[in-house]
Amino acid sequence: MLVAEKKITVKEFLQMEFEGEDAYYELINGEIVKKSSPSLRHQETSQNINFEMLKFVRTKKMGKVFTAPTDVYLDDYTHLIPDLFFVSKKNKNILDYGGEGIVRGAPDLIVEILSPSSTLKDRFDKKNIYEKRGVREYWIVDPNNKTIEIYENKKGVYEPFSFAAGEGKVASKVLKGLELEVKGIFSE
């Protein structure tokens, strides 16, 4: 992990150049963090969730679904690249299709897919950031253990809402009516 001597702002972060095309960089509370390229299992899981979520959202005309690498700026010291996220039509003002083509604010729903190098960041650092910034629903997806955990933001605190391991379904509150069969998400 790269660590700066002082907190870096998003403005400073955007002016930096990073070498190597095998990784992305995020800014978490003013610290630069390298995000490694995802594994095949991670990508397959991401594609399966994206397919189901995108199909549902488009059919219901609820908003937009995005996948990594799409920049999400949550404050002056936080620039993240979630694996997947949803922005409702009601919240579309955070989508900046202009010059930088970024998201400025909290998406309604964020999905992070665990990998060995991201487990602690996704379970603790990012979860706390998303919780405090008002992301209404947070999914933690673990391809190795074939689990999906869904948390609902209630008054600034995440509470478990839906969970499945190996088989069974998970349901979303933000995407009311969306249910995913876990076995299908982790199929090989």
CATH code for the domain in which residue 118 is found: 3.90.1570.10
- Mean pLDDT of successive 10-residue segments in the chain (188 residues)? 70 80 80 85 95 97 95 93 97 89 94 92 95 97 97 96 96 97 88
Within a domain: residue 5?
no
* Distance (Å, whole) CA 45 – CA 22: 19
Q: Which residues pair with 75 in a beta bridge?
A: 78
Residue 83 burial (10 A CB sphere; 0-12, 13-18, 19+)? buried
pLDDT value for 35: 81
Instruction: Quote the pLDDT of residue 4.
Output: 46
How far is the C-alpha of 37 from the C-alpha of 19, rounded, in Å? 14
Residue 1 domain flag: no
Q: Tell me, yes or no, whether 3 lies in a domain.
A: no
pLDDT at position 23: 67
* 4 within domain boundaries: no
- Length of the chain measured in residues: 188
CA nearest 141: which of 124, 163, 156? 163
Domain residue limits at 93: 10-185
Q: Rounded to whole angstroms, how far apart are CA atoms 63 and 86?
A: 7
Instruction: Classify residue 15: in a domain, yes or no.
Output: yes
Q: Is the full-model pTM beyond 0.75? A: yes
Q: Are 10 and 110 in contact (CB under 8 A)?
A: no
